[in-house]
Structure 1
Amino acid sequence: MLELSILGFLAEEPLHGYELKERIKALTGHVRPVSDGALYPAITRLVGAGLLDQHTEPGASAAPRRILALTDRGREELLERLRRPKQTEITDHVRFNTVLAFLRHLPDRREQAAVLRRRLDFLQTPTSFFYASGKPVRAEEADDLFRQGMLRVARATGEAERAWLRETVALLDQPS
């Protein structure tokens, strides 16, 4: 997801490393913080693969800054990752939010809707944090006040997300 975040933010504008880190941190930092030890090797890999370009600009009052920009190959890679997210990028809420943050870059509304349908299909499957005899435990069945809370919040969040997904898919399915 780090690479997708890098490609996605750089599709919007060239940035230097610190600005890029701050944007990634704002997107996922409270859940999955990004360290320099992860960010800069990922940038190096993407530059090496020809997906990013870098050049140096003078700093305002400091040392020169390394500016990163998306190459044409990088844009194609971003679009491909958005068209065909991995299954974990559909099923994991934080990863899906990263896909969602950049889905607008896909120019084809049908492709955008297809990604949202995959998430909606996943969310239609009954699930729980807890199971009894192989069956998902519902909030009303939990014997623990705190587990009831977890399950009620998850159910409300899931209902809201499914409603938004249905509305958005219907909107994307309308002729332009």
Structure 2
Amino acid sequence: MLELSILGFLTEQPLHGYELKERIKALSGHVRPVSDGALYPAITRLVTAGKLDQHTEPGTSAAPRRMLSLTDKGREDLLERLRHPKQAEITDHVRFNTLLAFLRHLTDRREQAAVLRRRLEFLRTPASFFYAEGKPVRAEETGDLFREGMLRVARATGRAERAWLEEALAQLDQPG
């Protein structure tokens, strides 16, 4: 997801490393912080693969900054990642939000809708954080105030997300 975030933000505009890190941190850093030890090797991999271009610009009051921009190959990689997300990118809430942040870069509404349909299908599958005898435990069945709270919040969040997905799909399915 780090590479998807890098490609996604650089699709919007060239950035230097610190700006890119701040944007990624704003998107998912509260849940999954990004370290320099992860970010800069990912940038190097993408530059080496020809997906990013880098050049140095003078800093305003500091050392020169390494500016990053997306290449055509990087744009194609981003679009391919958006068209065909891995299953974990559909099932993991934070990863799915990263997909959503950049899904607008797919210009084909059918492709956008296909991604949303995969998420909706996942959310419609009965699940729980807790299981008894192989079956999901419902909030009211936990006998534990705190687990009940977790499950009730998850149920409300899931309900809201399913409603939004259905609304978004209705819009995407309209002609035009």
Query: What's the CA shift for 1:137?
Result: 0.4
Deviation at 1:68, TM superposition (A): 0.1
What is the one-letter code of the residue matched to 1:126?
Answer: P
Corresponding position of 1:52:
52
The aligned counterpart of 1:110 is: 110
Q: What is the aligned partner in structure 1 of residue 157 from structure 2?
A: 157
Amino acid aligned to 2:128 = S
User: What is the TM-score normalised by the length of structure 1?
Assistant: 0.99
CA distance in 2: counterparts of 1:36 and 1:173, whole angstroms: 41
1:161-176 residue pairs with structure 2 within 5 A? Answer: 161-176=161-176
SS of aligned partner of 1:129: coil
Separation in 1, partners of 2:40, 2:174: 42
In 2, the alpha carbon distance for the partners of 1:105 and 1:118 equals 18
Percent of matched pairs sharing the same residue: 85
Find the aligned partners of 1:72 and 1:59 in 2 and give their Cα distance: 27
Structure 1: how far apart are the matches of 2:9 and 2:168?
A: 23
Q: Which amino acid aligns with 1:153?
A: V
Aligned to 1:3: 3
Amino acid at match of 2:68: L
Deviation, structure 1 residue 98 = 0.5
Task: Give 1:158 shift.
Answer: 0.2
Query: Which structure 2 segments of 5+ residues have no match?
Result: none
After TM superposition, the runs of 4+ consecutive aligned structure 1 residues lying more than 3 A away are none
Q: How many residues align?
A: 176
How far apart, CA to CA, are the structure 1 residues paired with 2:11 and 2:150?
37
Matching residue of 1:66: 66
Within 5 Å, give how 1:16-27 maps onto structure 2. Answer: 16-27=16-27
Question: Cα RMSD (Å) of the superposition?
Answer: 0.4
TM-score of the pair, normalised by structure 2: 0.99
- The answer to whether the aligner puts 1:87 opposite 2:87 as a matched pair is yes
The match for 1:76 is 76
What is the Cα deviation at residue 15 of structure 1? 0.1
Deviation at 1:87, TM superposition (A): 0.3
